[in-house]
Amino acid sequence: MRQDKPVHHVGVTQPSEDQEPAPAPPPQPFTMPGQAPPYGPPAGQAPPYGQAPPYGQAPPYGQAPPAGQAYGAYQPYPGASYGGTANRTARDPALAEWWQRLVARIIDGIILFILIGPFWFPAVLSLVHRVERLASQYPDLSQPAQQQAFSNSVNQMTTGMIGTFLLIAAGAAAISFGYDWLQHGLWGQTIGKRVMGTKVVTADAHARISGGAACGRAAVYALIPAVPSVGGIFGLLNELWLLWDPQRQCLHDKAAHTVVIKTSALAVPADGGLAAQPNSSV
């Protein structure tokens, strides 16, 4: 009997019976003839470890991009900040603007000038009359001798009045202190702040300040600037401090732990806790 021999085809490898067939390759996206394949790994397949996905590539299969973000849009690393803006504390919108505080102080300054005027005007008028009398004693000030004598007489007269002016300055500081302390202690507002719609409250809870806090605040604002020489420098720095302070506090605000806010931002409770009621602690 003739036995058929196995036929071997050239170039074709027959798998053995105990060998599993190789898995089929993943489907490739269809491309038109002459069209380059898409850049990057196939859809649904993550890029190799350490390699960022190409720009404009869709996220992995089944994962949608964040709301409002286009595919491939750049997103910074979560929690990263550029320029330090992420850690910067936002300024409270309830705080009074610097120009509101400035205009309120101008209004209060005009009122204080009217109150202190009766003390200053007599001293100033007395000084002017004395200078006029001295000038009448030296009619020809073109001569060096009379000019020197007139200058010496004026210096002696002003030196003798220094004590008077210091006393008047102390009285003016006391009036300014009382004006600031009583109104803030009772109502949290001076006349100028009422006109500008602002109010002094505690820095932590925006509550009505106590009489003691109002007293300390007024002392730093009105009494320290009355000290000769250094007081004027302190007074200028005190007022300018709010321009760069994050809570728009002057130095007298920091001393009393207070801030100045807009009255329109106050949420008045049912019992009127922040209403303009007299404070019995003053």
Q: Give 219-248 as a 3 state SS string.
A: HHHHHHHHCCCHHHHHHHHHHHHHHCCCCC
Taking alpha carbons only, the member of 245, 209, 234, 250 closest to residue 104 is 250
> By percentage, how much of the chain surpasses pLDDT 70?
62
Measured between alpha carbons, how far is 194 from 206 in angstroms, rounded to an integer? 17
Find the mean pLDDT for residues 255-280.
70
pLDDT at 88 over 80: no
pTM of the model: 0.60
Measured between alpha carbons, how far is 221 from 181 in angstroms, rounded to an integer? 10
In this structure, of 82-91, 131-140, 242-251, the range with the lowest mean pLDDT score is 82-91
Token pair for 99: 């120009």
At 103 the pLDDT is: 97
pLDDT tens for residues 43-84? 556 656 555 555 555 555 556 555 555 544 444 444 444 444
In this structure, of 48-52, 248-252, 271-275, the range with the lowest mean pLDDT score is 271-275
Q: In this structure, are residues 201 and 274 in contact, taking their beta carbons and an 8 Å threshold?
A: yes
Average pLDDT of every residue of the chain: 77
pLDDT tier, 86 (very low <50, low <70, confident <90, very high otherwise) = very low
What's the one-letter identity of residue 237? L
Helical residues (DSSP H) of the chain, grouped into ranges: 98-137, 144-160, 162-186, 191-196, 211-218, 230-240, 251-256
At 272 the pLDDT is: 47
At 106 the pLDDT is: 97
Sorted by where each begins, the domain ranges of the chain are: 98-265
Report the chain's C-alpha Rg in angstroms.
Answer: 42
What's the one-letter identity of residue 10? V
Taking alpha carbons only, the member of 282, 277, 213, 264 closest to residue 96 is 264
At 265 the pLDDT is: 87
The 10 Å CB-count burial string (b at 16+, else e) for 224-242 is bbbeeeeeeeebeebbebb
At 144 the pLDDT is: 82
pLDDT at 275 over 60: no
Find the mean pLDDT for residues 142-165.
81
Measured between alpha carbons, how far is 158 from 142 in angstroms, rounded to an integer? 22
Q: In this structure, are residues 195 and 261 in contact, taking their beta carbons and an 8 Å threshold?
A: no
At 80 the pLDDT is: 42
